[in-house]
């Protein structure tokens, strides 16, 4: 029996491989190992914001065509057998109309496929763009179809960020090496190309900025943006809110002081949730209700992320406006807030030529100014982009970064950015080359902290605080015991000590099993327990139970393995 | 091992950062035991034939008991001919001289053994001192109380400050020196130093005591010299072999015999040795050189000084150097004869210095460069010899003159000495700790080229440290370690002992990560207080130092408080810096502006006449680059806390399964003393360091908890006792 089963099973294995091979061989395009390809797919048009008419999914890599042919069915070859395994032989830079279907054959979207074959493409690899309907759902389904067909999502998870940080750090170190080599061996080396250095530094700055903006974007996505509209009475604040939110949220009349309370409206700017706060016109008033409204307005303005100050084009810049601006600035100063100010000049339909001279040049308190006419929604678009720019979300929405950064990473990025800015000013100030290295090293140091190439005290203590939770309560407990020994040593009854120990163990997250065991013990047993209590065994058992949920950097896992062998 | 940490406050550069200089006690428990055991013997009753007794009790201090009195105590047998010292320095080169002089000055009875007394402090290669990074070493040695800077200042033929426009950290002083005068002056110093004896001898053996400690040296002619500390500075002499073309002979330098036998002895003692190569170019007769078409290189009009001691700052007439270049013919000749060179012909395997390449290396490595600079430098005031810098070669002698004659100006030159290469044994310095004492044999120190370095300055820097430590060791004091961040000397030694170097090591500015803090101008404020504490800085020098620091800080205070409004100075500053000058600007703020130097203040009468040129420079640097300096200090602080964390000596790296295999191997071999050192060992990745830190922390916590548990046990016992006592007392009362 055995001799027969063995060959048959091995032959079965073989045939399995062979059928696969045969199938692949029958199709020369498919013969490429699609599964292992480094072909990436991504939605390259903006996602999450206002939907465009067209959205694009781009495939790039050696198997871009193969993957595209699995999902894309050109209409002109309708007579051929479809099902995604069509032998699509695209002509480079020729647009083809067709449909994308998922692996089950369901049509997902009608698309235009634009093949750009290597090397005439952005990436110098084969690129296929699928131009779909500009709807998030469509785009994501097309992307999913591509991924199912063997593409890899561009910049998956944190990978993109760590790659960016690593490349930035590498650039820093390359520049450092270059400069330092010149300090020592100037005669023997080609002359240093300062322009190249400056360019590299500029592009590094841009990358860091972008990464920081991504961080900012993440924060905004979570917390949203509060925009307060303030101004004198009757300049059209409520109209702006209505026009912007495309609603009749606020009551608009000709009467000054119509808005008495803060009116909220929620909108989305480039995918970021924005809360608009319409406030009562700020003025000296004796009306009790309006007075409260004014106070509230000021409070709201102080808490907002962006303050829009509305003025009327009809009246121009009045002394009351100056007063109001001063008030805002004083308030900001005392509260230490630095929310950017945007000037909105409303009612431009009534006074088309308004002098803007005042808001140009130095000392202009406003980050941006926008001309609007709220009644016909003119300028609302511009206002939106101004807000987006100020909040730092203008670039992100267009890009496709798919990662988030945490507080620690953000701090180090800021440190990197500051170092690079100082570096730029050193270059501008004509400081000798040697000084460039100081800030480059600083930048490399900061980036190293993110990528884990420099081990800082902080990282290490993080490792311990995050993964050795069991340790801490125990040490606390011992501290209390220490206190006992110091204060009254033998005078303390052992019973008290046990109580302390018990409460200590109960207080902290020791694990149910241990707790039960603990509570069931009598005093002698407890003494025994205390003496034989191995904090590391507990620590590791607790941490082991926590581990699957927590991220596991390599050292930590090693740490525990070393524990269990020792404990 | 008891460790004390001495915080060295750098009065000028920092009050908030302490560069820790660890003093490691050399007395291990084993020697202490040894000492106690031996102390039971009285010198008159019993004298062992082997002199372990004397070696370990030879902690005689200044003034040391004269040798004669020792011999009077005992019988007049041949044994009394044994000479006993506190420190023996083997080799009279730049490392040996510094070591011997500093050791003797610290009160140790010191013997300098050299193959040839006439060649003490000889400059066999380029008679020049300083240059980028090397000048910092010279300043630092001087700040500690060493000699090299003073001798170079006394014997210079030409001085120039290099890299003037590249920032204060890389600015470097270079002196062309008179080769013969230099050797003579240093010899005078060595000869006139109290406590220091000189003797011609070839050391062939290290005499060991019972505890793997050094007891002395044995010479070729059978003499034994005894000392508890021995410093080996063998230079290129240990099994030295010189090459000209394919011809070779045993020699340490041209015309001087090699030192044979010591390598074998060291290998026998368990040391790993390896071989290195270096070379020196031909010398030509300056009377046969046509200088008319060559670019002259004059010395600086305002001369800089290596030494901080104004007594040695005596200006003298300068000589001119000349610049020529290799030509197409030079390159062709070399390319045609590459097979005739040792490296490319393949008959010398030892690695030469990458940073001081032979002309054939340069031409092969920089194919795209069609010409290389060659400097013609005088070797002395009274000799016709010219040193052809940048033109060392391994070509046979018959090709050397034709090669020289391809250079413009040298078309009709005559050659006085041929270029040659030298191969020698060195001991990879990971076998030393940072005190330069070997890890294997207590009391044995290595310095200079034996540690794989190249250059007089590197040698002198190691020499002074090993001299200080040899003396301290013989005195039973803790050894001194300069942290990497404290100085170029510290950086040099740290690199030597942590990196497994296999080519000659030359100091470079880029080797120091924090070089803005390690400048030439502040070498004294970094190291002179330490030199004072060690005992190498006398009262006069200390007073000079303190006065200087006082003047600098007073001037900085003055510039901070003095304000100007308008006037010529403000106008001039505005023009020079192209930045507006506000009213009531302090002079300090003016000095901080780009392109404004102290000179500008001087020009408008706002300078301080009491200050010397150097002091003004110190003030200018401190003010102008304050931001950078504080930033670098912050960087340093960030890393140093962790870097200085000591590693226990008995760590079993092989048992650390979390380290990579390579890291386990390398760390076991190098056995670093701190985390910082461990991170610089080749093949050890950041992940390994993280793993190592975690292991250390785990061990620490374990030890901590063990202690707690023991304490608990004690409490339990005590309370039980208390309870039982109580019970007893209760029962007795009832």
B690/chain A closest Cα distance in angstroms = 6
A174/chain B closest Cα distance in angstroms = 13
Cβ-Cβ contacts under 8 Å, B631 against chain A: 438-439, 442
B91/chain A closest Cα distance in angstroms = 30
Q: Where are the alpha helices (DSSP H) in A265-379?
A: 288-303, 319-335
Residue B177 has pLDDT above 50, yes or no: yes
Q: Which of A213-217, B335-339, B411-415 has the lowest mean pLDDT?
A: A213-217
Model confidence pLDDT, tens digit, residues A179-230: 877 777 766 666 777 788 888 888 888 888 877 877 776 667 667 788 888 8
Let me know: does B44 contact B507? Beta carbons within 8 Å: no
Q: Could A432 and B628 be called an inter-chain contact, meaning their C-beta atoms sit closer than 8 Å?
A: no
Q: What is the mean pLDDT of residues A146-174?
A: 73
Residue B505 phi, psi (nearest 5): -100, 120
Q: Is the torsion defined by CA of A65, A71, A76, A81 positive or negative?
A: positive
Cα A430 to chain center, whole Å? Answer: 36
Model confidence pLDDT, tens digit, residues B282-306: 999 999 999 999 999 999 999 999 9
Tell me the pLDDT band of A22, cut-offs 50, 70 and 90: very low
Q: Could B719 and A490 be called an inter-chain contact, meaning their C-beta atoms sit closer than 8 Å?
A: yes
Residue B138 has pLDDT above 90, yes or no: yes
pLDDT at A496: 47
- The span from the CA of A106 to the CA of A111, in Å, is 14
Greatest alpha-carbon span in chain B: 121
Residue with tokens 């019973």: A495
Let me know: does A97 contact A74? Beta carbons within 8 Å: yes
Q: Which of A183, A431, A490 sits opposite B722 (nearest CB)?
A: A490
Let me know: does B10 contact B525? Beta carbons within 8 Å: yes
Q: Could A455 and B509 be called an inter-chain contact, meaning their C-beta atoms sit closer than 8 Å?
A: no
Query: What letter would DSSP give residue A343?
Result: E
Residue A243 has pLDDT above 70, yes or no: yes
Q: Could A555 and B132 be called an inter-chain contact, meaning their C-beta atoms sit closer than 8 Å?
A: no
pLDDT at A461: 57
B713/chain A closest Cα distance in angstroms = 7
Q: Which of B36-50, B383-397, B538-552 has the lowest mean pLDDT?
A: B36-50
Cβ-Cβ contacts under 8 Å, B355 against chain A: 184-185
Query: Average pLDDT of chain A?
Result: 68
Q: Could B513 and A441 be called an inter-chain contact, meaning their C-beta atoms sit closer than 8 Å?
A: yes
- The span from the CA of A20 to the CA of A25, in Å, is 8
Instruction: Return the CA Rg of chain A.
Output: 33
- The span from the CA of A211 to the CA of A178, in Å, is 26
Residue A285 has pLDDT above 80, yes or no: no
Instruction: Tell me the C-alpha to C-alpha distance, in Å, between residue A182 and each of A177, A178, B390, B661.
Output: 8, 6, 18, 36
Tell me the pLDDT band of A559, cut-offs 50, 70 and 90: very low
Q: What percent of chain B has pLDDT over 70?
A: 87
pLDDT at A539: 35
Closest alpha carbon to B469 in B438, B440, B507: B438
Q: In terms of C-beta density within 10 A (0-12 exposed, 13-18 middle, 19 or more buried), how is residue B706 classed? A: exposed
Most A CBs within 10 Å, among B132, B491, B510, B717, to test the A interface: B510
Let me know: does B477 contact B545? Beta carbons within 8 Å: no
Token representation of residue B277: 């190569």
Tell me the pLDDT band of B66, cut-offs 50, 70 and 90: very low
Instruction: Tell me the C-alpha to C-alpha distance, in Å, between residue B125 and each of A175, A370, B182.
Output: 34, 75, 13
Q: What is the mean pLDDT of residues A239-266?
A: 81
Closest alpha carbon to A426 in A447, A443, A448: A443
pLDDT at A565: 32
pLDDT at B342: 78
Cβ-Cβ contacts under 8 Å, B711 against chain A: 482, 485
Instruction: Tell me the C-alpha to C-alpha distance, in Å, between residue A58 and each of A54, A137, B554, B694.
Output: 13, 16, 68, 45
Residue A478 has pLDDT above 80, yes or no: no
pLDDT at A392: 66
Task: Measure the CA angle with vertex A399, ends A398 and A404; round to 5°.
Answer: 125
Kindly compute the dihedral angle of the four CA atoms of residues A137, A139, A144, A146, in this order, to the nearest 10 degrees. 160
Q: Which of B628, B639, B689 sits opposite A438 (nearest CB)?
A: B628
For residue A370, give the H/E element and its range: strand A368-371
Instruction: Tell me the C-alpha to C-alpha distance, in Å, between residue B544 and each of B84, B143, B514, B541, B553.
Output: 37, 12, 27, 5, 14
Let me know: does A181 contact B355? Beta carbons within 8 Å: no
Cβ-Cβ contacts under 8 Å, B642 against chain A: 455-457
Closest alpha carbon to B299 in B333, B268, B279, B322: B322
Q: What is the mean pLDDT of residues A139-145?
A: 83
Residue A227 phi, psi (nearest 5): -120, 120
Nearest CA in chain B to A553: B687
Residue B456 has pLDDT above 90, yes or no: yes
Residue A567 has pLDDT above 50, yes or no: no
Q: Could A536 and B686 be called an inter-chain contact, meaning their C-beta atoms sit closer than 8 Å?
A: no
Q: How is A498-522 classified by DSSP, letter by letter?
A: HHHHHHHHHHTT--HHHHHHHHT--
B185/chain A closest Cα distance in angstroms = 31
- The span from the CA of A396 to the CA of A221, in Å, is 12
A545/chain B closest Cα distance in angstroms = 20
Q: Which of A419-428, B71-80, B420-429 has the lowest mean pLDDT?
A: B71-80
pLDDT at B297: 92
Model confidence pLDDT, tens digit, residues A507-537: 444 445 555 555 555 554 554 444 444 333 3
Let me know: does B281 contact B391? Beta carbons within 8 Å: yes
- The span from the CA of A487 to the CA of A500, in Å, is 15
Tell me the pLDDT band of B53, cut-offs 50, 70 and 90: very low
Within a 10 A sphere around the Cβ of A26, how many other Cβ atoms? Answer: 11
- The span from the CA of B70 to the CA of B72, in Å, is 5
Query: Average pLDDT of chain B?
Result: 85
Token representation of residue B276: 């290195």
Distant-in-sequence, close-in-space partners of A141: CB < 8 Å, separation ≥ 6: A102, A108, A109
Within a 10 A sphere around the Cβ of B121, how many other Cβ atoms? Answer: 26
Let me know: does B494 contact B511? Beta carbons within 8 Å: no
Q: Is the torsion defined by CA of A71, A72, A75, A76 positive or negative?
A: negative
Q: Which of A49-58, B34-43, B410-419 has the lowest mean pLDDT?
A: B34-43
Nearest CA in chain A to B634: A442
Residue B204 has pLDDT above 90, yes or no: yes
Cβ-Cβ contacts under 8 Å, A562 against chain B: 657-658, 695, 698
pLDDT at B39: 38
Given phi > 0 = left and psi -120 to 50 = alpha, else beta, which region is B544? alpha
Q: What is the mean pLDDT of residues B339-347?
A: 79
Model confidence pLDDT, tens digit, residues B214-270: 999 999 999 999 999 999 999 999 999 998 988 889 999 988 999 999 999 999 999
Residue A57 has pLDDT above 90, yes or no: no
Cis peptide before B63 (omega within 30 of 0): yes
- The span from the CA of B57 to the CA of B55, in Å, is 6
For residue B571, give the H/E element and its range: helix B567-577
pLDDT at A555: 31
Task: Measure the CA angle with vertex B425, ends B420 and B426; round to 5°.
Answer: 115
- The span from the CA of B668 to the CA of A154, in Å, is 43
- Number of Cβ pairs < 8 A linking chain A and chain B: 139
Within a 10 A sphere around the Cβ of A8, how many other Cβ atoms? Answer: 10
Q: Could B657 and A183 be called an inter-chain contact, meaning their C-beta atoms sit closer than 8 Å?
A: no
pLDDT at A87: 67
Q: Could A492 and B166 be called an inter-chain contact, meaning their C-beta atoms sit closer than 8 Å?
A: no
SS (H, E, C) A211-250: HHHHHHHHHHHHHCEEEEEEECCCCCHHHHHHHHHCCCCC
For residue A452, give the H/E element and its range: none
Distant-in-sequence, close-in-space partners of B101: CB < 8 Å, separation ≥ 6: B146, B147, B189, B190, B193, B196, B467
Nearest CA in chain B to A495: B719
B305/chain A closest Cα distance in angstroms = 21
Task: Measure the CA angle with vertex A325, ends A320 and A330; round to 5°.
Answer: 125
- The span from the CA of B433 to the CA of B481, in Å, is 9
Let me know: does B49 contact B74? Beta carbons within 8 Å: no
Q: Which residue has the higher pLDDT, B134 or A327?
A: B134
Q: Which of A442, A457, A490 sits opposite B642 (nearest CB)?
A: A457
A95-98, Cβ contacts within 8 angstroms, sequence gap of 24 or more: A98/A72, A98/A73, A98/A74
3-class SS of residue A103? coil
pLDDT at A355: 61
Nearest CA in chain B to A457: B642
Q: Which residue has the higher pLDDT, A506 or A290?
A: A290
B220/chain A closest Cα distance in angstroms = 43
Cβ-Cβ contacts under 8 Å, B702 against chain A: 536, 566
Residue B596 has pLDDT above 60, yes or no: yes
3-class SS of residue A31? coil
Residue A6 has pLDDT above 60, yes or no: no
Q: Which of B165, B658, B716 sits opposite A562 (nearest CB)?
A: B658
Q: Which of A393-407, A546-560, B48-62 has the lowest mean pLDDT?
A: A546-560
Q: Could B698 and A559 be called an inter-chain contact, meaning their C-beta atoms sit closer than 8 Å?
A: yes
- The span from the CA of A173 to the CA of A170, in Å, is 5
pLDDT at A46: 65
Token representation of residue B297: 């290189």
A336/chain B closest Cα distance in angstroms = 26
Cβ-Cβ contacts under 8 Å, A188 against chain B: 362, 366, 369
Tell me the pLDDT band of B355, cut-offs 50, 70 and 90: low
Tell me the pLDDT band of A358, cut-offs 50, 70 and 90: low
Beta strands in A162-224 (DSSP E): none
Q: Which residue has the higher pLDDT, B432 or A396?
A: B432
Residue A401 has pLDDT above 80, yes or no: no
Instruction: Return the CA Rg of chain B.
Output: 29
Closest alpha carbon to B376 in B183, B181, B176: B176
Most A CBs within 10 Å, among B132, B136, B164, B167, to test the A interface: B167
Q: Could B691 and A434 be called an inter-chain contact, meaning their C-beta atoms sit closer than 8 Å?
A: no
């Amino acid at each position: 029996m055995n001799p027969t089963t063995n060959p048959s099973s091995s032959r079965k294995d073989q045939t399995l491989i062979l059928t696969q091979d045969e199938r692949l061989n029958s199709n020369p395009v498919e013969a490429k190992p699609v599964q292992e390809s480094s072909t990436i797919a991504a939605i390259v048009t903006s996602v999450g914001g206002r939907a465009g008419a067209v959205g694009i999914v781009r495939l790039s890599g050696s198997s871009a065509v193969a993957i595209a042919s699995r999902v894309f069915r050109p209409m002109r070859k309708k007579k051929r057998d479809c099902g995604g395994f069509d032998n699509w032989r695209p002509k480079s830079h020729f647009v083809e109309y067709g449909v994308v279907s998922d692996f089950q054959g369901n049509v997902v979207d009608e698309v235009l496929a634009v093949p750009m074959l290597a090397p005439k493409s952005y990436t110098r690899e084969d690129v296929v763009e699928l131009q779909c309907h500009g709807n998030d759902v469509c785009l994501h389904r097309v992307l999913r179809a591509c991924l199912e067909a063997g593409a890899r999502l561009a910049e998956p998870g944190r990978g993109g960020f760590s790659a960016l940080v690593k490349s930035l750090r590498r650039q820093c170190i390359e520049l450092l090496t270059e400069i330092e080599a010149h300090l020592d061996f100037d005669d023997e080396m080609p002359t240093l190309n300062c322009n190249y250095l400056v360019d590299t530094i500029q592009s590094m700055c841009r990358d860091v900025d972008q990464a920081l903006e991504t961080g900012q974007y993440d924060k905004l996505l979570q917390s949203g943006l509060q925009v307060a509209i303030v101004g004198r009475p009757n300049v059209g604040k409520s109209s702006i809110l209505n026009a912007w939110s495309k609603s009749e949220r606020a009551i608009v009349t000709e009467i000054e002081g119509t808005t008495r309370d803060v009116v909220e409206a929620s909108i989305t700017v480039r995918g970021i949730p924005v809360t608009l706060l319409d406030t009562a016109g700020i003025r000296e008033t004796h009306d009790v209700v309006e007075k409260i409204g004014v106070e509230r307005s000021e409070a709201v303005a102080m808490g907002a992320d962006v303050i829009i100050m509305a003025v009327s084009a009809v009246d121009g810049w009045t002394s009351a406006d100056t007063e109001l601006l001063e008030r805002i600035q004083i308030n900001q100063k005392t509260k230490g807030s630095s929310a950017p100010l945007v000037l909105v000049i409303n009612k431009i339909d009534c006074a088309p030529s308004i002098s803007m001279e005042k808001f140009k040049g130095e000392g202009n308190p406003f980050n941006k100014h926008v001309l609007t006419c709220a009644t016909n929604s003119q300028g609302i678009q511009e206002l939106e982009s101004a807000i987006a720019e100020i909040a730092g979300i203008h670039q992100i929405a267009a890009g496709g970064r798919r990662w988030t950064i945490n507080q620690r990473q953000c701090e180090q990025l800021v440190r990197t950015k500051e170092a690079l800015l100082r570096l730029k000013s050193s270059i501008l100030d004509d400081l000798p080359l040697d000084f460039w290295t100081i800030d480059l090293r600083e930048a490399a140091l900061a980036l190293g902290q993110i990528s884990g190439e420099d081990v800082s005290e902080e990282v290490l203590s993080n490792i311990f605080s995050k993964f050795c939770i069991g340790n801490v309560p125990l040490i606390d407990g011992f501290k209390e015991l220490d206190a006992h020994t110091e204060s009254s040593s033998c005078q303390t009854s052992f019973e008290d000590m046990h109580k302390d120990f018990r409460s200590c163990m109960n207080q902290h997250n020791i694990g149910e099993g241990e707790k039960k065991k603990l509570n069931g013990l009598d005093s002698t047993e407890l003494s025994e327990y205390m003496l034989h209590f191995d904090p590391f065994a507990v620590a590791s058992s607790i941490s082991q139970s926590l581990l699957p949920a927590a991220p596991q950097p390599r050292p930590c896992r090693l740490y525990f393995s070393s524990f269990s062998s020792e404990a | 091992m008891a460790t004390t940490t001495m915080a060295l406050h750098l009065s000028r550069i920092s009050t908030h950062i302490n560069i820790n200089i660890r003093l490691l006690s050399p007395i291990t428990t084993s020697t202490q035991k040894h000492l106690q055991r031996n102390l039971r013997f009285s010198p008159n009753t019993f004298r062992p034939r082997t002199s372990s007794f004397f070696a370990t009790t030879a902690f005689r201090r200044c003034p040391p008991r004269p040798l004669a009195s020792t011999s009077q105590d005992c019988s007049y047998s041949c044994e009394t001919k044994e000479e006993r010292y506190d420190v023996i320095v083997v080799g009279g080169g730049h490392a040996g001289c510094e070591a011997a002089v500093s050791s003797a000055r610290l009160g140790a009875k010191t013997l300098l053994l050299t193959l040839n007394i006439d060649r003490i402090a000889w400059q066999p290669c380029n008679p020049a001192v300083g240059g980028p990074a090397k000048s910092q070493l010279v300043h630092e040695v001087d700040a500690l109380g060493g000699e090299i800077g003073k001798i170079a200042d006394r014997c210079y033929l030409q001085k120039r400050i290099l890299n003037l426009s590249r920032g204060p950290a890389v600015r470097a002083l270079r002196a062309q020196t008179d080769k013969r005068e230099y050797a003579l002056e240093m010899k005078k110093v060595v000869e006139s130093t109290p406590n220091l004896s000189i003797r011609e001898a070839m050391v062939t053996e290290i005499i060991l005591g019972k505890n793997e400690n050094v007891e002395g040296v044995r010479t070729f002619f059978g003499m034994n010299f005894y000392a508890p500390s021995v410093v080996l500075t063998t230079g290129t002499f240990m099994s030295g072999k010189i090459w000209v073309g394919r011809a070779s002979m045993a020699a340490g330098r041209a015309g001087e015999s090699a030192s044979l036998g010591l390598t074998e002895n060291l290998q026998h003692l368990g040391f790993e040795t390896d071989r290195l190569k270096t070379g020196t170019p031909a010398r030509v007769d300056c009377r046969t050189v046509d200088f008319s078409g060559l670019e002259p290189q004059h010395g600086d009009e305002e001369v800089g000084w290596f030494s901080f001691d104004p007594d040695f700052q005596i200006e003298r007439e300068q000589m001119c150097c000349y610049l020529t270049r290799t030509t197409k013919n030079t390159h062709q000749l070399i390319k045609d004869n590459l097979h005739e060179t040792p490296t490319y012909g393949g008959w010398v395997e030892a690695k030469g210095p990458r940073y001081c390449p032979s002309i054939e290396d340069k031409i092969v490595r920089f194919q795209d460069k069609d010409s290389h600079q060659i400097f013609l430098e005088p070797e002395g005031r009274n000799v016709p010899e010219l040193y052809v810098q940048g033109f060392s070669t391994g070509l046979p002698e018959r090709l050397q003159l034709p090669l020289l004659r391809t250079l413009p100006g040298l078309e009709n030159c005559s050659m006085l000495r041929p270029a040659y290469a030298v191969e020698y044994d060195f001991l990879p310095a990971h076998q030393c700790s940072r005190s330069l004492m070997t890890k294997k044999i207590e009391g044995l120190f290595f310095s200079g080229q034996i540690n794989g370095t190249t250059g007089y300055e590197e040698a002198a820097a190691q020499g002074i440290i090993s001299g200080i430590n040899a003396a301290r060791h013989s005195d039973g004091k803790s050894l001194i370690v300069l942290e990497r961040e404290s100085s170029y000397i510290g950086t040099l030694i740290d690199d030597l002992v942590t990196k497994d170097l296999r080519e000659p090591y030359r100091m470079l500015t880029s080797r120091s990560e924090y070089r803005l803090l390690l400048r030439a101008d502040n070498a004294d404020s970094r190291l002179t207080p330490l030199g004072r504490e060690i005992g190498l800085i006398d009262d006069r020098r200390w007073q000079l130092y303190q006065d200087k620091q006082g003047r600098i800080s007073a001037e900085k205070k003055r510039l901070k408080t003095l304000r100007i409004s308008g006037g010529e100075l403000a106008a001039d500053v505005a023009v020079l810096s192209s930045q507006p000058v506000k009213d009531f600007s302090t002079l300090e703020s003016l000095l901080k502006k780009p392109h404004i130097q102290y000179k500008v203040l001087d020009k408008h009468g706002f300078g301080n006449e009491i200050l010397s040129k150097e002091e003004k420079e110190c003030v200018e640097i401190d003010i102008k680059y304050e931001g950078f300096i504080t930033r670098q200090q912050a960087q340093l602080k960030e890393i140093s806390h962790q870097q200085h964390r000591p590693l226990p000596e008995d760590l079993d790296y092989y048992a650390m399964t979390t380290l990579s295999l390579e890291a386990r191997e390398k760390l076991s071999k190098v056995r670093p003393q701190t985390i910082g050192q461990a991170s610089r060992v080749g093949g050890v990745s950041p992940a390994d360091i993280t793993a190592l830190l975690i292991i250390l922390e785990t061990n620490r916590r374990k030890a901590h908890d063990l202690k707690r548990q023991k304490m608990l046990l004690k409490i339990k016992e005590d309370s039980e006792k208390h309870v039982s006592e109580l019970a007893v007392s209760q029962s007795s009362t009832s």
